[in-house]
C-alpha cells in the first residue's frame, strides 16, 4: 500500500461479510460491533502465541476493543503490523519493568478535584470519561480507562466546574479521558456551554482519537454544534500514515470546514513509527488532511509497555531527519513528560555547537557550520 494514498475501507473488506453501507457508516453500528473477544479476533487474524496469551491475560488491566473501521487496517497474518501493535494485546503487557509506573505523568497527585488535573498555572486537564472507541495498548491512563481495572475514574462534575469558576488564572481547558467525542451531541454541548459561561476561560480544547477510530462519528450535526464554541481546538491522535484513510480525511475535512483548528499528537512507538520514513509520510499526510503535527511524545513509562518504547536518541534522530527535508509546518515538537509529574519537556537535536559572549556556532540540517555574532556593547562616538 502506498502510505501517502488515502485508501477507502468499505464494508466489503470486513471478512467478506454482507454489511450495508448504511450500517457501516453508522457510528452506533461501529461501536456495537467492536472486536473485543479472543473469538472475535481469531475470526479475522492469525494470532501469534504472544498475542493469544496477551488477549487472555490482560483483560483485567485494559479492555480490548477495536472498531471495525480501525480493525480493517490490520494485516491479518503479520504480528509486526504497525496498526496491530497498537491495539492487539501481547503477553509482554503482563511484565512490569522497575522503571515503569502506574501514573507516569503524576496526574493523580495534581487533582484538586477528582477528575480535574491542574499541573500547569493557566490550564487544566478535565477527564470527562473513561471510555474510548478503541483501546491503545500504550494508554497513559490505563489505570482508569476502559472500566476493567480496580481503579476507577470518579470525576466530580459540579465540584470541577466550581473549582474552575473560583480559579481565575485558568484560561485553557482540555477535555480528555477516555474520549469526549463519545458523548452525544447534546451532552457534549451542555458541558461546553457550562465551560463557556466562565468568563476567564478563553479557549477550549478536546483531545480525541475518534476521528481515526470512528470517523463516522464526525457528522455535519456535530461539527455545526462545535462551531458555536470557538475558539475551539481539537488534538487528534494518529501514529501511522495508514490510519489516515479517505474516510478519516473526509471527517477531518468536516471539522476543518467548521473552523476548528487541529493538531496531531503522536507517540513514538517501537515497530510502529520509529523510522524517519514513516514519520515523514505521516506528517506530510496530516498536512494534506489540514492537520498540523503538534507533538511527538516519547512514550510514557506505563506499566507493561517496555516492548513498545524506544530510546530518546531515536526520537532525536527522527526530528533531525525531518528538519530541512519537509516543510516546517510538518515538524512536531518532540517532548517527554517528566516522569512522576514534571510536565512536558521539549527535546531537540543539538543545533548549537558552541556559545560564548562573542558568538554562537550553529549547524544546519546539512551539518554545515555557521557563526552568528552576539551583540557587543560599544561606546557611542563623540559628535
pLDDT at 379: 58
Domain covering 108-347, topology = TIM Barrel (3.20.20)
pLDDT at 11 (0 to 100): 55
Catalytic residue among 139, 281, 297, 320: 139
Whole-number Å distance between alpha carbons of 41 and 39: 6
122 is catalytic: no
Catalytic annotation on 136? yes
Q: Which of 52, 130, 135, 136 is catalytic?
A: 136
Where along the chain do the CATH 3.20.20.70 domains lie? 108-347
Residue 382's pLDDT is what? 61
What does the pLDDT read at residue 300?
A: 96
C-alpha cell at 383: 559628535
Q: Can you give the pLDDT at residue 315? A: 97
Helix, strand, coil percentages for the chain (3-state, nearest 5): 35, 20, 50
What residues contact 15, with CB distance under 8 A and at least 6 apart? 43, 44
Judge whether 141 counts as a catalytic residue. Answer: yes
Give per-residue pLDDT as tens, 120-178: 999 999 999 999 999 999 999 999 999 898 899 999 999 999 999 999 999 999 999 99
The predicted pLDDT at position 240 comes to 98
Catalytic-residue membership of 223: no
The pLDDT assigned to 377 comes to: 77
Q: Minimal CA–CA distance to 138: which of 20, 310, 255?
A: 310
pTM, two decimal places: 0.93
Q: Is 337 known to be catalytic?
A: yes
Three cell numbers at 275?
523510522
Quote the pLDDT of residue 383.
59
Question: Is 123 a catalytic site residue?
Answer: yes
- Is residue 254 among the annotated active site residues? no
pLDDT for 60 equals: 87
Give per-10-residue mean pLDDT for the chain (383 aa). Answer: 64 64 94 95 94 92 95 95 98 95 93 96 97 96 91 94 98 97 98 98 97 98 97 98 97 98 98 98 98 98 97 97 95 95 94 95 95 82 61
Amino acid at each position: 500500500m502506498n502510505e501517502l494514498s488515502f485508501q477507502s475501507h468499505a464494508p466489503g473488506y470486513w471478512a467478506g461479510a454482507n454489511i450495508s453501507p448504511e450500517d457501516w457508516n453508522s457510528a452506533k453500528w461501529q461501536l456495537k460491533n467492536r472486536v473485543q473477544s479472543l473469538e472475535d479476533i481469531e475470526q479475522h487474524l492469525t494470532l501469534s502465541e504472544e498475542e493469544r496469551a496477551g488477549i487472555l491475560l490482560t483483560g483485567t488491566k485494559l479492555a480490548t476493543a477495536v472498531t471495525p473501521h480501525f480493525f480493517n487496517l490490520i494485516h491479518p497474518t503479520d504480528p509486526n503490523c504497525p496498526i496491530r501493535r497498537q491495539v492487539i494485546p501481547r503477553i509482554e503487557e503482563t511484565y512490569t519493568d522497575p522503571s515503569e509506573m502506574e501514573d507516569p505523568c503524576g496526574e493523580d497527585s495534581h487533582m484538586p478535584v477528582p477528575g480535574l488535573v491542574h499541573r500547569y498555572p493557566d490550564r487544566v486537564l478535565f477527564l470527562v470519561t473513561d471510555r474510548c472507541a478503541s483501546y491503545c495498548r500504550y494508554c497513559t491512563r490505563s489505570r482508569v480507562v476502559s472500566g476493567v481495572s480496580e481503579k476507577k475514574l470518579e470525576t466530580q462534575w459540579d465540584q470541577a466546574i466550581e473549582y474552575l469558576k473560583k480559579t481565575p488564572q485558568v484560561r485553557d481547558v482540555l477535555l480528555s479521558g477516555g474520549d469526549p467525542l463519545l458523548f452525544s451531541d447534546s451532552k457534549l454541548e451542555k458541558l461546553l456551554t457550562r465551560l463557556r459561561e466562565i468568563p476567564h476561560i478563553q479557549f477550549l480544547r478536546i483531545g480525541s482519537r475518534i476521528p481515526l477510530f470512528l470517523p463516522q462519528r464526525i457528522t455535519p450535526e456535530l461539527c455545526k454544534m462545535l462551531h458555536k464554541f470557538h475558539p475551539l481546538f481539537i488534538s487528534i491522535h494518529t501514529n501511522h500514515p495508514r490510519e489516515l484513510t479517505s474516510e478519516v480525511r473526509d471527517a477531518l475535512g468536516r471539522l476543518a470546514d467548521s473552523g476548528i483548528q487541529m493538531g496531531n499528537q503522536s507517540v513514538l512507538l517501537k515497530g510502529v513509527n520509529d523510522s524517519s520514513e514513516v514519520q515523514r509520510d505521516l506528517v506530510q499526510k496530516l498536512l494534506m488532511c489540514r492537520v498540523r503535527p503538534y507533538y511527538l511524545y516519547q512514550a510514557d513509562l506505563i506499566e507493561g509497555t517496555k516492548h513498545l518504547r524506544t530510546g530518546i536518541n531515536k526520537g532525536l534522530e527522527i526530528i533531525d531527519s525531518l528538519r530541512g527535508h519537509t516543510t516546517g509546518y510538518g515538524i512536531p515538537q518532540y517532548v517527554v513528560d517528566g516522569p512522576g509529574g514534571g510536565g512536558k519537556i521539549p527535546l531537540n537535536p543539538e543545533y548549537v555547537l558552541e556559545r560564548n559572549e562573542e558568538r554562537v556556532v550553529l549547524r544546519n540540517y546539512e551539518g554545515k557550520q555557521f557563526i552568528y555574532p552576539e551583540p557587543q556593547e560599544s561606546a557611542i562616538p563623540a559628535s
